[in-house]
């Protein structure tokens, strides 16, 4: 029996029961055994139980380092998790690989600009700031957070390209009518989108360089063209099932996992 875990932190697990239950349904059979474990209890569980693989849906790459040191296969790997969940590392990675991205700084250079915590996700801890006083106030209110600063670009929404097993599965455009952030979780409207061949090639290049199993590559659509703004690991599936449920992207992910353990 091949034994695995699906792992979230307790808060995120409440919002992702569909993803968890779908994986549990598909990965419990005569060959595979899958169990849900909270992130906080992961290392304790691994220390006393046989675990062959982990579907890790958290953002703590250090946990994955410990798993991989013990020969446990993780989906995604340490590199993907670390780069995707630190926005400054994401920028450095994109810049070093000559991929289109928005110039990013550790100190504000000009205003208005977008101010983001390096560890935020889902559009949280993202601020449109118009001056130094405003930026300093945000830093004072969030003393534990590290921020980056990016030029503000007028845009026509953003596009998430889902890459599974280094192949593009689907692309979705998000556009908010009420906010400068286009996130679906914050009320952004969504629709299926046909990306250019170049966008597809860039998204696949990202996945290949990181050796990512399942990742989202987000492009901002500006008047000067598109820029990669974020990498998503873990990447969600709610938009996909809303717009194209017949695709069953979680089932495709599970099939990939079964073939790569």
Per-residue model confidence as pLDDT tens for the chain (261 residues): 999 999 999 899 999 999 999 999 999 999 999 999 999 999 999 999 999 999 999 999 999 999 999 999 999 999 999 999 999 999 999 999 999 999 999 988 888 999 999 988 776 788 999 999 999 999 999 999 999 999 888 888 999 999 999 999 999 999 876 455 455 444 458 999 999 999 999 999 999 999 999 999 999 999 889 999 999 999 999 999 999 999 999 999 999 999 998
pLDDT at position 184 is 42
The whole-angstrom separation of Cα 161 and Cα 195 is 8
Q: Which residues pair with 258 in a beta bridge?
A: none
The whole-angstrom separation of Cα 179 and Cα 39 is 32
Helix, strand counts (H, E) of the chain: 10, 13
Residue 9 tokens read as 């932190």
The full DSSP string for 92-123 is: HHHHHTT--B--EESS--SSSEEEEETT--TT
pLDDT at position 122 is 73
Q: Which residues pair with 167 in a beta bridge?
A: 164
- One fold for 2-75 and 154-251: no
| Full-model pTM | 0.92
Q: Which residue shows structure tokens 């992702």?
A: 16
Residues 116, 128 contacting (CB under 8 angstroms) = no
Q: Which CATH architecture has domain 2-75?
A: 3-Layer(aba) Sandwich (3.40)
In the chain, domain spans: 2-75, 104-151, 154-251
The fold of the 154-251 domain, in CATH, is D-amino Acid Aminotransferase; Chain A, domain 1 (3.30.470)
Exposed/middle/buried for 259, CB within 10 Å: 0-12, 13-18, 19+?
Answer: exposed
User: Which sign, positive or negative, has the C-alpha torsion 61, 88, 209, 213?
Assistant: positive
Residues 149, 115 contacting (CB under 8 angstroms) = yes
Cβ neighbours of residue 48 under 8 Å, at least 6 residues apart?
none
CA angle 131, 135, 136 (to 5 degrees): 115
Q: Which residues pair with 33 in a beta bridge?
A: 3
User: Which sign, positive or negative, has the C-alpha torsion 242, 156, 12, 68?
Assistant: positive
3-state secondary structure of 30: coil
The whole-angstrom separation of Cα 255 and Cα 252 is 5
């Amino acid at each position: 029996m091949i034994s695995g875990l699906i792992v979230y932190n307790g808060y995120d697990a409440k919002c992702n029961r569909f993803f968890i239950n779908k994986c549990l349904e598909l990965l419990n059979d005569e060959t595979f055994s899958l169990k849900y474990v909270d992130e906080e209890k992961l290392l304790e569980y691994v220390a006393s139980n046989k675990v062959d693989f982990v579907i890790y849906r958290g953002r703590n790459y250090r946990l994955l380092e410990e798993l991989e040191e013990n020969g446990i296969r993780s989906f995604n790997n340490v590199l993907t998790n670390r780069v995707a969940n630190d926005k400054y590392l994401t920028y450095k990675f994109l810049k070093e690989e000559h991929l289109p991205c928005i110039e990013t700084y550790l100190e504000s250079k000009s205003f208005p600009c977008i101010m983001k915590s390096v560890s935020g996700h889902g559009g949280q801890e993202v601020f449109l700031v118009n001056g130094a006083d405003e930026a300093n106030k945000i830093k004072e209110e969030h003393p534990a957070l590290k921020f980056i600063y990016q030029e503000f670009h007028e845009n026509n929404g953003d596009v998430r390209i889902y890459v599974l097993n280094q192949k593009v599965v689907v692309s979705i455009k998000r556009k908010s009518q009420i906010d400068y952030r286009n996130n679906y979780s914050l009320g952004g409207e969504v629709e299926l989108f046909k990306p250019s061949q170049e966008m597809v090639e860039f998204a696949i290049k990202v996945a290949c360089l990181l050796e990512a199993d399942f990742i989202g590559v987000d492009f901002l659509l500006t008047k000067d063209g598109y820029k990669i703004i974020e990498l998503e690991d873990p990447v969600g599936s709610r938009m996909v099932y809303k717009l194209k449920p017949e695709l069953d992207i979680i089932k495709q992910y599970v099939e990939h996992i079964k073939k790569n353990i």
